[in-house]
Structure formats: C-alpha cells, structure tokens
Amino acid sequence: MTLRLAVTGLKGQVVSALIERAPKDVEITALGRPQLDLGLRHAVLANLRHAGCDAIINAAAYTAVDKAESEPDVAMRINGEGAGHVAEAAAGLKVPLLHLSTDYVFDGALDRPYREDDATGPTGAYGRSKLAGEQRIAAVHGDHVILRTAW
C-alpha cells in the first residue's frame, strides 16, 4: 500500500532530503511557492485538497531569523497564520499533520535540552511567529505532531 504525503516547503533542505530518502511505497507531493503561499488561506486549502494525501508534513517556513526582526509581519504571516492554514487543511481532510518548528520558541536560558513541557518564551520575532503557528495548529487540529528542531 502506498502512503501519499503532501509536503510543504518544496525548495527546503528537509524536503529535499525527504524526497531523496523516501521509500518506494511513499508517494510525495511537494508543494512550494509560487503556487502555495502559506499566507493565502484559499491557496493552502485548495492545493492541499488537490494533493489527495494520507498525511501532511509542514516543512515550509520563513527561516530568516535575523531578518524577521525587521519584517515581523511577514514572519508571522508565514509561520503563524500559514501554519494555521495548513492545520485547517489537514483537519478538513481528516489527515494527520507533522509540523516542523524550532527551539527558538524557548528563551535559550536552560543549561539542559528542552522538553516538550518546558515553558516557552521566545525572545525574537522568528520564535514568536513559530510559537504562534504551534498554537494555531493545536487550536485547529487535534491530530498533529509538532517537532521542534535545532540546527
């Protein structure tokens, strides 16, 4: 049986690696700009509905951490609102969602690895936008996993 994944973030490193390493019985539909603008709810819903998937991986993000300080609205539109749009699509399709987030949702003050139940406290616009996305996902779709990565 083939597993059909819709993956956002077509030009990103994670998606490239996923496509390269996917088993033969996994069919990946990778979506990205310009057809999939995460800030446009209708585009997200339509593209993910059209993908006909069994699960969604949201690897798309505004990742310019330093630049987010000078354009916080853009970061929030993509990472906050856009993640919510993806979750809305997944909920409507009744498929699970794996969302890639970041350790920037924490303040960085702990001297040990963070746990999922540690208090968040982003110190910059990028982290705030990613945390907003996590919160929107949790509010919209119960069948999700949020994976916080660090580079």
* Active-site residue list: 126
DSSP-derived secondary structure letter, 76? I
Q: Which residues contact 45 (CB under 8 A, 6 or more apart)?
A: 85, 88, 89, 92
DSSP-derived secondary structure letter, 106? S
The shares of helix, strand and coil residues in the chain, as percent rounded to the nearest 5, are 40, 20, 40
